[in-house]
Amino acid sequence: MQKNMLLPFKVGKPVEDEYFIDREKEIKELIKHIKSMSNTCLRGMRRMGKTSILFKTVKEIDDPIPIYTNCYGVPDKKRFASLLLDSTRDAYIDHTGDGKYTSAIKKYVKKSVDHITYQLTDMDVNVGKYFKIRIGIKQKDIDQDILLEDTFNYAERLGENKGKKFVIMLDEFQDIGSRWGDDFLKRLRSIVEKQKNVCYVFCGSSITFMNSLVENTKSPFYRQLRNIMIGSLPDEEVKYFVRNR
């Protein structure tokens, strides 16, 4: 058998490019909601291709700037804050090439906490906000709910000061939503409804949780989200794809 032969199919992981099949309708609908800055729920059973849809969407949009964060297996709110904070920073830099912001981040990233704290007032407001949250993540006695609120609002402040819009895509959202409970969802709803420069895509495979998020009258997000349901691929599309591999 020839080595390095391109496998005809990929199983068990997100797919892109020549491995991607169909879903044009769902992607078009998702992009439409994102462009209108509407918050969206993307739901469906496992192995339906939701993550691949998110990856494809990230590649196709530049405004608003897409921020992808995988919530699966995140152990606590501090770790989530760290992931989302850095994802926001990286997405902004990748899509804007803001040299001054990049240089300022690099200048201070290796400094001690005390040195950064001392010079926060002299920093660009967005860089200062970034390091305030980064310092908070390292503190043992920090209120994690306040830390989360600051992290979610980082993209909002960055967008406000830089004239940019963002979409935060939270993949496997049920993994943190179900563990952190109603108080977290209520706090998140309060944050989301005040923001003008950020919209959200909540993506999940737990049908029970995601259905409740959208349809339960007691859910903080009841009637607050556009809904896209991802089902099985059409038989004809699958047959065509298989025949042409």
Query: What is the domain count for the chain?
Result: 1
Query: Is residue 45 in some structural domain?
Result: yes
> What CA–CA distance (Å, rounded) separates 58 from 95?
11
Return the number of other C-beta atoms located less than 10 Å from residue 7's C-beta: 8
Question: Domain of 210: which CATH number?
Answer: 3.40.50.300
What is the rounded CA–CA span in Å between residue 215 and residue 113?
45
Instruction: Tell me which residue range forms the domain holding 34.
Output: 21-243
Query: Is 6 domain-assigned?
Result: no
User: Does residue 11 form part of some domain?
Assistant: no
Is 162 part of any domain?
yes
Within-domain flag for 2: no
- Rounded CA Rg of the chain: 20
Judged against a pLDDT cut of 60, whether residue 134 lies above it is answered with yes
pLDDT confidence of residue 188 = 97
* 3 within a domain of the structure (yes/no): no
In the block, residue with structure tokens 């992808």? 68
Q: Mean pLDDT throughout 153-177?
A: 96
pLDDT band per the 50, 70, 90 thresholds, residue 135: confident
226 vs 13, more confident: 226
In a domain, 1, yes or no: no
Q: What is the pLDDT of residue 18?
A: 53
Mean pLDDT of all residues in 152-172: 96
- What are the tens digits of pLDDT across the range 62-110? 999 999 999 999 999 999 999 999 999 999 999 999 988 988 888 777 7
In a domain, 155, yes or no: yes
